[in-house]
Structure 1
Amino acid sequence: METRSVLFADDGDIPNSRFPLIVYPRAVDPSDGAAAVAFETLFARNGWGNSWRNGIFPFHHYHSNAHEVLGIAAGSAEVRFGGENGETVAVEAGDAVLIPAGVGHKRLSASPDLLVVGAYPASQHADLMREGAEDTDGIRRRIAGVVLPENDPVGGPTGPTATLWV
C-alpha cells in the first residue's frame, strides 16, 4: 500500500501531534460511483465508525479527543494540514487521509462536487477545536491521552499505523 506521511510540530496555536498524518492515494476505486459506500465499508471493517458524509471546514480546526480519517468519495480539494505554516495537500476522489488528534486541517479550495466520508476509532467522538483556543495545557493533555486505534482505518492491523504510530 502506497502512503505518504507528514509530521507537524506544535506551532504554539495548533498543537499537532507526535504521530504523522498519513495520506493514502487511491485507497478505494472511485470509478464506479460508489466510493462513499466503499469508504464507509472499509472504515467499519477496520473498527472505525461514527461516520459522516459532508465536506471539510474552511477554517483551521483540530480534534483534541479523537483521531479522524477522511475518505474523499467525490471531487477534489486542497487542504492545509498542520496550521498556517503547515503543508497543503491536494486530494481527489479515492484518496484517504488519517489525521492524528491535534493536527490542524482547513479546506483551502474544493471542487463543487466534493464529498468526504469521515470516521473515528471505536468509542471516539470528535470535539471541534479552533485556532486560538483557550486552556492550551489542558488541550495538549487531552491530545496526549487519546488512545491509539486498534487498526489502521485503511490497512487494518498491518496498515501504516502499526509502524508509524508507535
Structure 2
Amino acid sequence: MQTTVTALRFEPWWFVPSNPRLPTLIYEGAFAPDAADLVTQMERRFSENGWPPQWRDGIYDFDHYHSQGHEVLGIAAGHAKLMLGGDTGREVDVTAGNVLVLPAGTGHRRLSQSDDFLVIGAYPPGQTGDIVREKPTSAMSQRIAILSFPPRDPVVGEGGPMLRLWADTSAL
C-alpha cells in the first residue's frame, strides 16, 4: 500500500493561532483500511514511535486547538469531513487508514462523519491535548512556537516525513 503525505499550512483565524513553523501533515493510506484490528495496529505503531495513544473517540464538532501538545489522529474506522485551520483553512475528507499530525495551535473540527467513525489520539511524552477555544495569550503563543517535537515520526519512525518537513522549518 502506497502512503501519500500532504503538508498544509494555515494562517491564523479568529481565535485559532495555527502554527507559524510547522505544517499539518495528512498521511493517506498509512494503514490498510480493511486490516484486522486496525485500532491495535495504530496504537502499537504510534507507541513504538514515541507517541503513546491516549484516547479512542471521535473529533469534536467545534473549532479548537491544543496549546500544550502536538497531536496525531489515526482514523481507525469510518470516514469524516474535517475543517482544519478554522473557517479560512481547508476541508479534508479522511477515511480509515489515514493519519493526521497536527502541530500545536492547529484548529480542527468535525463537519460530518459516518456512524462508525473512530479516531485514535496520541501526543508525544510530556505533552497533552488541552482543549482551547479562545484567542491565545502572548505566553501561550510563545509556548506553541517553541514546543519541541519528538524524534520519531508517529507513522514511519526514524527518517519519516514529519522529521524532514518539520526539521526544514524548525529554525524559522
| Structure 1 unaligned blocks of 5 or more | none
**1:73 equivalent among 73, 76, 79:** 76
Correspondence 1:121 to 2:124: yes
Question: Which residue of 2 is the match for residue 109 of structure 1?
Answer: 112
Q: Which amino acid aligns with 2:118?
A: L
Structure 2 unaligned blocks of 5 or more? 168-172
Name the structure 1 match of 2:18: 16
Deviation at 1:22, TM superposition (A): 0.4
Instruction: Quickly say closer, same or farther: Cα 1:135–1:4, change in 2 above 3 A.
Output: closer
Distance 1:32 1:50, change over 3 A: closer
SS in 2 for 1:40: helix
SS in 1 for 2:101: strand
> Could you tell me which residue of structure 2 aligns to residue 31 of structure 1?
34
> TM-score normalized by structure 2?
0.91
Instruction: Quote the residue 1:138 is aligned against.
Output: 139
**Alignment length (residue pairs):** 164
User: Who is 1:98 aligned against?
Assistant: 101
> Is 1:148 matched with 2:149?
yes
Aligned alpha-carbon RMSD (Å) = 1.2
Residues 80-95 of structure 1 mapped to structure 2, 5 A cutoff = 80-95=83-98
Alignment equivalent of 1:53, drawn from 38, 53, 56? 56
Q: Is the 8 A contact 2:53 2:120 kept in 1?
A: no
Residue identity opposite 1:54 in structure 2: D
CA contact (8 A) 2:76 2:118 kept: yes
Structure with greater strand share of residues: 1
4+ residue stretches of structure 1 with deviation over 2 A?
none
The one-letter code matched in structure 2 to 1:159 is G
TM-score, normalisation: structure 1: 0.94
Deviations 1:60-105 (A, max 9, x none): 0000010000000000000100011100110000000000000000
Task: State the distance in 1 between where 2:151 and 2:12 align.
Answer: 25
**After alignment, is 141-150 or 85-94 more displaced?**
141-150
